[in-house]
Amino acid sequence: MITVGVEEEYVLVEPGTGLPAPLVEGVRRTAGLGPLADRAEVQDELLQAQVEVATPVCSSLEEVGGHLLRLRHAVASAAEENGCRIAATGAAPLRGTDAVPVTPTPRYLRMEGEARQLVDEHLISGMHVHVAIPDPETGVAVLNRIRGWLPTLLAMSANSPVWEGRDTGFASWRTIVFGRWPVSGPPPCFDGHADYERRLEALVASGVIADRGQVYWQARLSDRYPTVEVRCPDVQLRADDAVMLAGIVRALVATAITEEKAGTAPATCPPELLQAGNWHAARHGLNGTLLDPQGRPHSSGDVLCTLLRHITPALEDAGDLRQVSALVHRLLREGTPADRQRRALTEGGLAGLVGLITGATATD
């Protein structure tokens, strides 16, 4: 069984106003002292109104879901004890007039000095899925084969339509904010692992980025673990939607490994079409067309059906087909988390929106 792990980021907000609450130090300390989470499972992030959790290595989606619910509950409870709440949204809907302080590590302070406005506006939260790979060479082959599916994953996960109190017109505003960093978006194609390493080292040597951690491609090899890390999804309102995405990403990786061993030619998409498809997915979510891995437009429902057909053997091998298929069909029926946020904003204003993004984390 190919193992998988998930990292989730949340925004800390004031209960009444929904404004960012720079209280991560207290939240981490409280969560780490509680019975539900180990101290190492709860981490700070770039800004002090952000917190991140990381599951252990999991063999099944049942494990993933159990750990996500446990960690969400632990951090939500710790936040309540510290006078704030966690918001499961890809972008903070409100920022306030004062900049949120940067977490005072040398790396984060250096980033603030180099790109102050980008750091000030980095109140965004993603979901990262790590899937085990046998070796880095295979990992690069996986990146080449899954890159065409990244816009589809982004569209499915879109959960950040509101910024500074109003609808941006984008389903994933987080993607647009993240896209302003020097190295971001879908990764290029690589001619093997040596090429991957040469290109990363050249980026660092250029001086434009400070380290390999600032290679913010939506899929990359992890420098910490023997995994492919898929980073394009927004954090999810509901834990079971996060489980769905973890199952899909694991199946995509497993399918890519099988095809690589069989010598199957990968689907190719010109970089300009892939970038355009990524922007289009961030703009519309599932409300319209998507570009398939060859860069051809289809209805979003057709692309999701094609994705499921593509990964069905891998889902069956893992015992995940029934669960993932049911969740994908629910997504098509109910819409993305961004659609839910918009409905909450329309029906209940900002108070209704804040209630949605802070109320779903510990219960769904």
Q: pLDDT at position 33, please? A: 82
pTM: 0.96
The DSSP secondary-structure symbol of 223 reads S
272 occurs within a structural domain:
yes
Name residue 347's amino acid.
E
113 occurs within a structural domain:
yes
> Bridge-partner residues for 43, per DSSP?
52
Task: Tell me how far apart the alpha carbons of residues 252 and 72 are, in angstroms, rounded to a whole number.
Answer: 26
Q: Whose CA is closest to 153, among 39, 58, 274, 48? A: 274
pLDDT band at residue 39 under the 50/70/90 scheme: confident
Contact 59, 48 (CB under 8 A): no
Task: Tell me how far apart the alpha carbons of residues 160 and 147 are, in angstroms, rounded to a whole number.
Answer: 22
35 occurs within a structural domain:
no
22 occurs within a structural domain:
no
149 occurs within a structural domain:
yes
Q: Six-digit token pair at 91?
A: 């972008």
Residue 281 belongs to what domain range?
97-349
Residue that wins the pLDDT comparison between 51 and 38: 51
Average pLDDT value for residue range 24-52: 92
CATH code of the domain covering residue 332: 3.30.590.20
pLDDT tens digits for 262-315? 999 998 899 999 999 999 999 999 999 999 999 999 999 999 999 999 999 999
CB atoms within 10 A of CB 92: 29
33 occurs within a structural domain:
no
82 occurs within a structural domain:
no
- State the DSSP string of 147-184: GGGHHHHHHHH--B-EETTEE-S-SBHHHHHHTTSSSE
Contact 313, 190 (CB under 8 A): no
Average pLDDT value for residue range 128-133: 98
71 occurs within a structural domain:
no
> Bridge-partner residues for 85, per DSSP?
13
Query: Which uninterrupted H or E stretch holds 244?
Result: helix 239-262
pLDDT band at residue 16 under the 50/70/90 scheme: confident
Number of domains in the chain: 1
The DSSP secondary-structure symbol of 305 reads H
φ, ψ for residue 289 (rounded to 5)?
Answer: -95, 165
